Amino acid sequence: MDIEIGSNLYRNSNGTIDIEGVPQIEVARHPSTGVLLVNFALFDANGRLLAKVVDSTITFNERRAYELTKTNTSMAMKEIESGKLVLHFEVKASDVVSLSRGAFHTMKGHVLEISPKEWKLDKQQKSGLTHDADGGAVSIG
């Protein structure tokens, strides 16, 4: 599977996105229906789990602070009170999934910001990169 994060393309990944060495996001397509399935762990600045998404469904939502909207080919998660977009995934082609927008804390407490043109994590940023993951995880940070 190819994954776009901002304007960066990661080819031949296994669907796992490691952020600062921790697998924080997993993306897949259902084998028979093609429905987008996202697993995601959302943390606060101290590394405490705030929400968990399994197969594009919220399974843990502390203080009911987050909402999720989904279709067969997209999924978005927002903070209810502020309306802030946490992450937005969409299928762009049969084996290309895009994480085009969002902002959330990593397990280590840093903020990962994703825009259509780049991703930024602490002092690192990547834009326009194409990388072959060789069947492994996408690595950020």
Find the domain containing 27 and state its range: 2-133
pTM score: 0.95
CA angle at 65 for the pair 40 and 52, rounded to the nearest 5°: 20
- Give a yes or no: residue 113 inside a domain: yes
- Give a yes or no: residue 140 inside a domain: no
Q: Are 116 and 100 in contact (CB under 8 A)?
A: yes
pLDDT one digit per residue (tens) for the chain, 141 residues:
999 999 999 999 999 999 999 999 999 999 999 999 999 999 999 999 999 999 999 999 988 999 999 999 999 999 999 999 999 999 999 899 999 999 999 999 999 999 999 999 989 999 999 999 999 999 999
Q: Residues for the chain: how many in total?
A: 141
Question: CA–CA separation, 38 vs 55, rounded Å?
Answer: 5
Domain count, the chain: 1
- Give a yes or no: residue 139 inside a domain: no
- Give a yes or no: residue 38 inside a domain: yes
- Give a yes or no: residue 116 inside a domain: yes
- Give a yes or no: residue 9 inside a domain: yes
Give the C-alpha distances (Å, rounded to integers) separating 94 from 3, 29, 33, 50, 73.
Answer: 11, 9, 12, 32, 10
